[in-house]
Amino acid sequence: MSDSAGLVVTGIGVTTAVGRGKADFTRALFAGEHRFAVMDRPGRQSGTRFVGAELPDPVPAPRLDARDLRTASLTGQVALATLEEAWTEAGLDGYDADRIGLVIGGSNLQQRELVRAHDRHRAKPHFLRPSYGLSFLDTDLCGLCTSAFGIRGLAHTVGGASASGQLAVIEAAEAVAAGRVDVCVALGALADLSYWELLGLRAMGAMAGEDHADAPAEACRPFDRGRSGFVYGEACAALVIERRDARPAAPAPYARLSGWSVRLDGNRDPNPSLAGETAAIRQALHRAGLTARDIDYVNPHGTASPTGDETEVAALKACGLTHAAVNATKSITGHGLTAAGAVEAAASLLQMRHGRLHPTRNLTAPVDDAPRWVRGQAVDADIQHCLSLSMGFGGINTALCLSACAA
């Protein structure tokens, strides 16, 4: 798919631990802030001291009545708040509801809430609340969001592990490009992990351990030689995607979606693939009609996993992208897992609009000197073309090209 479809992003919503809403989030990005700490949300620890970035309470839930609020998960409430920001910015109230779609990136999204329900009813399972039969499904988020916003065009979830958020952006773009809807919101949903998922991710060596519990600010260090795995972060982002000429009243777009790619490694395992990552980058560039030299800035996946970061740097080098500026949004937000790809696309678009790149926290000894790292402090930058990358367990690689509308 080339940008001949004229797809643009006209609204953004962001909810992360460092900033609720675009203004707070953007300020925190450029300041290199963080909220990493030993997590204390109920269901996150079990004799453990996992470090992560949690949202401040309470989370506002606009368009949600008190009755639904009682059974809406944290993931659902954050989705509604994030969607509200993107929806309002794009000015979608009053638009033909049959022509608006929603693609939610993520699966197994509400694990912490499920574990808490299991714990409450373990000794008396026959009293489990009937609403559990609905709320254990990820698609409950589709119901919450479409009922609150009146969306009638399409709504479904897409699972791509840590690439889910970017996969949602791609699926939403393709839905608009195919004419299924005029406007489609891609939402990278908050992956609400319980201690069980955290234990599993730690056991497999993907996640930084509890050795950072006494220095949580230093735990998350993508592309640094001292990294030891990703640090979890609660996050969610929504992007409104539409044809540039679809609505006369649409606001000025952030950028064009000029190209994208989804490439598989044919591999169930969590290990990254240089071949898969380079294939995704090259295909996205080709579809955008760009060369590597055209890319000013790369927002990488950058989880801080020992092999993941090295493989990604190797992919950037193999694709001729060492001239481009590179920073790691996860160093500030933590790893939002299913939300990450959408959050990082949003971060890329906000940086393009502000002409400024955020620093990479804790990048004191880079794994490789070839990429043009942004670290220390934010820098001004004229970004005409940007590349955002996401990779998920199971060999899922996605790449997204974003281009300034004047470019």
Partner 1 sequence: MTKEKTFTLIVDAVREILPELADHDFGETDTLDGLGANSMDRAEIVMTVLEEMDLDIPLVDTHGPRNLGELAQHLSDTAAVKAG
134 binds partner 1 (CB under 8 A): yes
Query: DSSP E strands: which ranges in 296-407?
Result: 297-299, 325-326, 356-357, 372-373, 379-380, 385-392, 396-403
124 binds partner 1 (CB under 8 A): yes
Cβ of residue 225: shortest distance to partner 1, in angstroms?
53
Backbone angles phi, psi at 263, to 5 degrees: -130, 140
Residue 4 has what DSSP assignment?
G
Q: In this complex, which beta carbon is closest to partner 1, that of residue 135 or of residue 305?
A: 135
Q: Which of 47, 56, 57, 70 binds partner 1 (CB under 8 A)?
A: 70
Cβ of residue 63: shortest distance to partner 1, in angstroms?
15
Q: In this complex, which beta carbon is closest to partner 1, that of residue 70 or of residue 268?
A: 70
Q: In this complex, which beta carbon is closest to partner 1, that of residue 124 or of residue 268?
A: 124
For residue 116 the two structure tokens come to 């808490």
Cβ of residue 69: shortest distance to partner 1, in angstroms?
8
Q: In this complex, which beta carbon is closest to partner 1, that of residue 65 or of residue 245?
A: 65
Q: Residue 298: which of 363, 238, 357 has the closest Cα? A: 357
Q: Which of 4, 67, 94, 369 binds partner 1 (CB under 8 A)?
A: 67
Q: Compute CA 372 distance to the chain's CA centroid, rounded to the nearest angstrom.
A: 23
266 binds partner 1 (CB under 8 A): no
For residue 288 the two structure tokens come to 């955008």
Cβ of residue 84: shortest distance to partner 1, in angstroms?
21
Residues 6+ away with beta carbon under 8 Å from 237: 12, 13, 14, 15, 82, 165, 187, 188, 339, 342, 343, 345, 346
Q: In this complex, which beta carbon is closest to partner 1, that of residue 131 or of residue 291?
A: 131
Q: Give the C-alpha separation, 55 to 17, whole Å.
A: 4
Question: Is residue 377 packed enough to be buried (19+ CB in 10 Å), middle (13-18) or exposed (0-12)?
Answer: exposed
122 binds partner 1 (CB under 8 A): no
Q: Which of 56, 57, 58, 66 binds partner 1 (CB under 8 A)?
A: 66
Residues that bind partner 1 (CB under 8 A): 65-67, 70-71, 124, 126-131, 134
